[in-house]
Structure 1
Amino acid sequence: MSKITTHAVIGLLCVYLMTSQLSVAAEENATSNRRTTVGSQALTEMSGMTASAIHNNRYWAHNDSGDRARLFVFDGNGTVLSELKIKGAGAFDWEDMDSFSDGSDGFLLVGDIGDNMAFRPFTDVYLVKEPTELKSPTTEGQVLRHFILNNEDGPRDAEALAVDGRARFVYILSKRDTHPRLYRFSLDALPGQPVPLNYLGEVRSIPSVDKHQAQGTGRISHFSPTAMAFSPEGDAAIIVTLRNTYYFPRATNQTWLQALNETPMVVKVKRMPQIEAGTFSRDGAQLLIGSEGIPAKIEILPRPKSK
């Protein structure tokens, strides 16, 4: 039997330690994604979701068309804490929502922007103050501002809305155009009259700049946007589709249109029935991707690391 040298023993120990570290890393990576469900039989068609702007580990969501003007708030485990009934709001086709803070109060924006048949001359976005207390099973909120949006280039179906609270602009991304079209309006638009929805340009980056293809006008595909969100720091965005979510880092001097036209990182989640909701966590460290269904399903995963 040959003798085992000291160097050989050290080498074997190094291999063992490296293998153990890789195994631990693989286990951590395998468990980094987490699936949860929302414990409400009333949230049957979750179409919009956002993190609270003032409460940690709290998330707001709403149903698709056919429901009343109401929101549900739940924690990261899917436990529903309260239902918010909104006075002064219609609910024709709610599709997405977002939140922001002015430094003291939190606000919620709900986008009644769905238009499958492209026949609505106006669409609606409602601004609501976020409740500071979430202890009652049911609470009531009042619409602070009703934005009646007038699209400068005609009716468009849209399911994706995101707020840049620092710049005080709301962005909307269309769904059924040949290429998704990005629009925006100001939170400080003059009240008492329709608000022009300004067209910024097309987004031609999904699934990548090289592989992007036009879709049939009025049709949808696996790459049609069903939700959109901006990171709390404004340095990234996600666009959610029925199949995958796409993550777009944003450089300091880039506009949102420029950032969304870079090739994104693909965020894959396990198959869910109808993926139509997505948001960043309040600290920006996680992504939450949600689906319609009873119960509503949510995939929680780490935010991608930019290359």
Structure 2
Amino acid sequence: MRRPLAPLAAAAAVLFAAPALLVGALGAPAAAAGGDDAGTGNDSFTIQDPRITESSGLAASRLHPGVYWTHNDSDDGPYLYAVDSATGETVARVTLTGIGTPRDVEAISIGPGDRIFVGDIGDNLDGTWPHVWIYELPEPRELRDQTVRATQYVVTYSDGARDAESLVVHPKTGRVYIVDKKEEGGHLYEGPEKLSASGGNVFRPIAPVDLWATDAAFSPDGRRLAVRSYFGGIQYKWDDATDGKIEREGRLGVPLAGQGESVSYSADGSRLMYGSEGEQSPVEAREVPGGGGAGDGGGKGGEPSGDDGSAAGEDGDGIGGDGLGAGVIGVVVVGAALLGLRRLFRRG
């Protein structure tokens, strides 16, 4: 369906003004991390592969230090890309077999035993699909272009179809969780203790999540859950999560860089890595509030450092909140324009 040009023109006008709005509201963007972290996976980098134009998920490899797995959002095929954070270059493209045609791939996570889980869970038509899919495959031991057979799982929700962009696998238990994407309060959904390839897998809500989630990630020790939106994020303590209780620890300093889509803890748990869509999209590193999540889970939840380029505030963390003051209203307008453009093109 063709869309009227007026909304596109208005959105484009705002987008052209975006740099000035951002600089005026937030000052200069945070600089990339220094050379000491190069090659460790703790440094900011830029994805160089021209095939990766809609990086929508991000996961730090524990098998290959400094490598991050990503994928395009849609219209690309059954491909995963291994990107070396030291150079931003793709070091392997994996083609998935044993599955159907991917529809709207939104997330990637790595579970116990170096098993990669891919969430084909997007639904831009707000609950049209009767089911979505999760793909599971072993992480390749050798980084080269290759074909890997994956297992496909059919997923439904106990309370009806919904859009989602966040899939996480607990690094200790291997249980899979999804966070749906709702403007007025989403939920954390828990999958079965073990996914079934021969039957359906019903995910059930166990806890509210107070923002419009575009991605989520577990810390390597499994004791923290980071959830991000376009403009902000929340870090939760994972204790008692199976009882439907996740304790909010604090806000996250989410950088404003294009259309913010992905988040991953670094392999050592000391950094949160934030990615976005677009050609040569940046992946920006930020220190984890409270001090890392590799071994002891860090201290109590704290605030991000003042120089992290955060757009998040103390309280609201949804698309309409994030604690944005009057000086950042322009950023909200820019974000709305980005979302409007994306939806217009995808539904058109």
Q: 1:245 Cα shift?
A: 3.0
Q: 1:200 Cα shift?
A: 1.4
Aligned-pair identity in percent equals 27
Q: 1:302 Cα shift?
A: 2.0
Q: Between Structure 1 and Structure 2, whose CA radius of gyration is higher?
A: 1
In the alignment, structure 1 residue 141 sits paired with structure 2 residue 148 = yes
1:60 to 59, 69, 80: 69
Q: Give the aligned partner of residue 210 of structure 1.
A: none
Structure 1 residues 235 and 268, CA gap change in structure 2 (3 angstroms): same
Q: 1:188 Cα shift?
A: 1.8
Q: Give the aligned partner of residue 97 of structure 1.
A: 108
1:243 to 216, 226, 231: 231
Unaligned runs of 5+ in 1: 1-28, 205-222
The answer as to whether partners of 1:32 and 1:302 remain within 8 angstroms in 2 is: no
Structure 1 residues 85 and 256, CA gap change in structure 2 (3 angstroms): farther
* TM-score with structure 1 setting the length: 0.76
Describe the superposition over 1:64-120 as per-residue Cα deviations: whole angstroms up to 9, x where unpaired: 021111011012231211111111233100011100233xxx111000000121111
Q: 1:289 Cα shift?
A: 0.3
Q: Give the aligned partner of residue 262 of structure 1.
A: 248
Q: Please list, as runs of the form range in 1=range in 2, the aligned pairs for 1:79-94 lying within 5 A after superposition.
A: 79-89=89-99, 90-94=101-105
- The structure where helix makes up a greater share of residues is 2
Structure 1 residues 257 and 284, CA gap change in structure 2 (3 angstroms): farther
Q: Please list, as runs of the form range in 1=range in 2, the aligned pairs for 1:82-231 lying within 5 A after superposition.
A: 82-89=92-99, 90-102=101-113, 106-117=114-125, 118-134=127-143, 136=144, 138-143=145-150, 145-176=151-182, 178-186=184-192, 188-204=194-210, 223-231=211-219
CA distance in 2 between counterparts of 1:31 and 1:110 reads 28
Unaligned runs of 5+ in 2: 1-29, 35-42, 291-300, 303-348
* TM-score with structure 2 setting the length: 0.68
Runs of 4+ in 1 over 4 A off after TM superposition: 29-34, 253-257
Structure 1 residues 257 and 229, CA gap change in structure 2 (3 angstroms): farther
The one-letter code of the counterpart of 2:62 is: A
Name the SS for the 1:279 alignment partner: strand
RMSD: 2.1
Describe the superposition over 1:103-148 as per-residue Cα deviations: whole angstroms up to 9, x where unpaired: xxx11100000012111111000001100001x3x211111x2110
The answer as to whether partners of 2:226 and 2:234 remain within 8 angstroms in 1 is: yes
CA distance in 2 between counterparts of 1:60 and 1:177 reads 28
- The structure where strand makes up a greater share of residues is 1
The answer as to whether partners of 2:274 and 2:283 remain within 8 angstroms in 1 is: yes
